[in-house]
Amino acid sequence: MSGYVITYFPLRGRAEPIRLLLADQGASWTEEEIPIADWFAGKCDIKKEAVFGQLPRFKDGDFVLYQSNCILRYLGCKYCLAGGDNKEKALIDMVNDGVEDLRLKFARAIFYEPENKEKYETDLPNHLSAFERILSQNADGTKYTVGEKISYADYNLLDLLHCHLDPFPACLSSFPLLTAFIDRISSRPKLSEYLKSEARNQRPIIPKK
């Protein structure tokens, strides 16, 4: 056993890119699920322990980390999925920050301000076109966002695209490279097995209101 533990709510949410990376790398982990109602009722000591009072938390043995993007970067370094040289590392970081920016907009429109969902959908092609362009500039869109090897940012982007397809099933219809990216990455054998798993599919992408 790896000794990895993901502590999070029963959601895909911000833990999902971490799970995608681990699953694809053939690593196993334990899930520690925190019921959302208990958390908000102040019944969870872990809220006081959490560095920023939030989840996900990730444990690698005795080593404890918070902040989902930091966890992704840590695992990226550990599994050599964080770029070969400083420039590649920076480019992967840049893509990952772009994913984070769009993830925040998505969460706001879908969860916090659902009255803005339509406007978000109208603006969405502008945001997605940035990622389509990034793919087109690396091996004509036939590989990853950066370089020759999958990176932690690719798992994060894959999850963000999966999240979008749920409320906006046609959102990638004019983005052939993003569509092919999803198909290519999702069909990697270990990842494809995880994506089909019941554990994964029973978790909603965000909390139900």
Closest CA to 134 of 96, 167, 164, 163: 96
Told to check if 96 binds ligand GTS by CB under 6 A, we report no
Which residues, 140 to 179, sit near ligand GTS by CB under 6 A?
Answer: none
Task: Give CA–CA dist 107/153, Å, rounded.
Answer: 18
Pairing of strands 63-66, 4-8: unpaired
Contacting ligand GTS (CB under 6 A), which of 6, 7, 12, 13?
Answer: 13
Which span (61-69, 85-93, 140-148, 156-164) binds ligand GTS, by CB under 6 A? Answer: 61-69
Residue 133 backbone zone (phi > 0: left; psi -120 to 50: alpha; other: beta): alpha
Among 25, 67, 116, 192, indicate the residue that binds ligand GTS (CB under 6 A): 67
| Rounded Cα distance, 90 and 160, in Å | 20
Q: Is 68 in the site for ligand GTS (CB under 6 A)?
A: yes
DSSP bridge pairs for 5: 30, 59
Q: Least distance in Å: CB of 70 to ligand GTS?
A: 8
User: Which of helix, strand or coil describes residue 127?
Assistant: helix
CA dihedral angle for residue 106, residue 88, residue 16, residue 46, rounded to 10 degrees? -100
49 in contact with ligand GTS (CB under 6 A): no
Residue with nearest beta carbon to ligand GTS:
54
Does 55 bind ligand GTS (CB under 6 A)? Our answer is yes
Any contact of residue 129 with ligand GTS (CB under 6 A)?
no
Binding site for ligand GTS (CB under 6 A): 11, 13-14, 53-56, 67-69
